[in-house]
Amino acid sequence: MKKFLAMILALVMALSLVACGDKKDDTKTDDNQGDTTETTYKVAMITDYGDITDQSFNQTTYEACKAFADANKIEFSYFKPAGDNTADRVAMIESAVDEGYNVIVMPGYAFGGAIVEAAPQHKDVKFIALDVAKGDLLEAGVAAKGEEYDYNPDNWDLATYVDMSNVYCAVYQEELCGYMAGYAAVKLGYKNLGFLGGMAVPAVQRYGLGFVQGVDAAAAELKLTDVKVNYVYGGQFFGDADITAKMDTWYAGGTQVVFACGGGIYTSAVDAAKKVEGAKVIGVDVDQAGVIANYAAGEGADQATIDGYKALTVTSAMKGLYPATYDTLTDVIVNGNWANYVGKIDNLGLVSADDPTLNYVQIPMESTQWADGAFTQDDYKALVKAMFDGTLTVSNDTTKAAKDFATVITVDEQGQIK
């Protein structure tokens, strides 16, 4: 009888081991602060102002999240705030958490305040913020403690004002893709260029300074001494009649292409460019050829008209939101490497010398107006390789003026419009 019972017990144990071995692994180990509890992940994205069809930050981030979730059979949804303010963004974070979402993805600097307010209230949630810098967090964190922020993040200790214990932020080396766009424009034959920034915040400044360095380098290689850059900040992240009037003056005065850098300020550049034959723009943050063409064509335009306006955009200085989102989610959720991210603000740039589409800063392979004998995809790849190898360096020193980077070109700095 004892022998029979022992055989039954051994059989039960063996079946238990087989069952454990065959169990589908739909949970991941949460390595935040050494926690070894198993967690089933659900990913939510909160949209910035705009929607997931904006052909910009929201759409790109949404598509990356959805592709990741589909590939890994993870539940995903997005939440759209009712308005463009911190309270509404926090409300959507609360809604996502209430529904069981424990990885929250947020694209755009405007989430600084929402992170400061919501993240400490949900310690078991991982917050992943794209394009949210130290200054964006400090602006809200310092104010929350009743102090006055001086907009110089180097003067402040982030840990004193912002709880980053369940937060990861990524920012981008905008100076690199700004350089690529400026270099491409001159190589493609443009000599009279403009930089229209939004507000003179560090990210926009880095775009502009990189742009000037790229213009200068290409002009030097081509032995040109008649290349000029008009340089101005709008003082806001949207276009209006005053900014359009400034762009009218530029294009009428011979400016051929304007790098419109800062949210919706591109509308003023496009409105002005449409009036001058051959005038062009350069997009920013994502491949903006489509969104610029749609805006230029106007509401209700047919596809042929929209496609015709795609030639307005020479190239775009892009942040690799898609690879940054997809790669981070993969490493955090699939590989369980949250400990490598939490509490950090990473400065993303180049990760590949050979495939520019893998990099976190780039210009688009599809819509850039390449030209044989002037600037080709192979020329672009060689430029990226030089950056990756360190044989070509680009300054991100925002304490310098744009004209400080001009060696063979002329930079006309015109201050701020608004």
Q: What is the mean pLDDT of the chain?
A: 91
Q: Quick one: pLDDT band at residue 11, thresholds 50, 70, 90?
A: very low
pLDDT in tens, 320-368: 889 999 999 999 999 999 999 999 999 999 999 999 999 999 999 999 9
DSSP characters over 18-34: HHHHHS----EE--GGG
Beta bridge partners of 86: none
The reported pLDDT for the residue numbered 22 is 34
* Per-residue confidence (pLDDT) for residue 122, from 0 to 100: 98
The model's pLDDT over 162-212, given as tens digits with 9 standing for 90+, comes to: 999 999 999 999 999 999 999 999 999 999 999 999 989 888 999 999 999
**Residues contacting 202, CB < 8 A, separation 6+:** 133, 135, 398
Give the tokens for residue 252. Answer: 């009428």
Q: What is the mean pLDDT of residues 212-240?
A: 97
Query: Residue 237's pLDDT is what?
Result: 87
Strands 313-319, 361-362: pairing is antiparallel
Per cent of the chain over pLDDT 90 is 83
Is pLDDT of 15 > 70? no
Residues 86-130 pLDDT 10s:
999 999 999 999 999 999 999 988 999 999 999 999 999 999 999
What pLDDT shows up at residue 36?
44
Q: In the predicted model, is pLDDT for residue 151 greater than 90? A: no
Confidence (pLDDT) at 37:
52
Supply the pLDDT for residue 18. 37
Does 28 have pLDDT greater than 90? Answer: no
Q: b vs e for 310-324, b when ≥16 Cβ sit within 10 Å of the residue's Cβ?
A: bebbbbbbbbbbbbb
Cα–Cα distance measured from residue 97 to residue 197, given in angstroms and rounded to the nearest whole number: 36
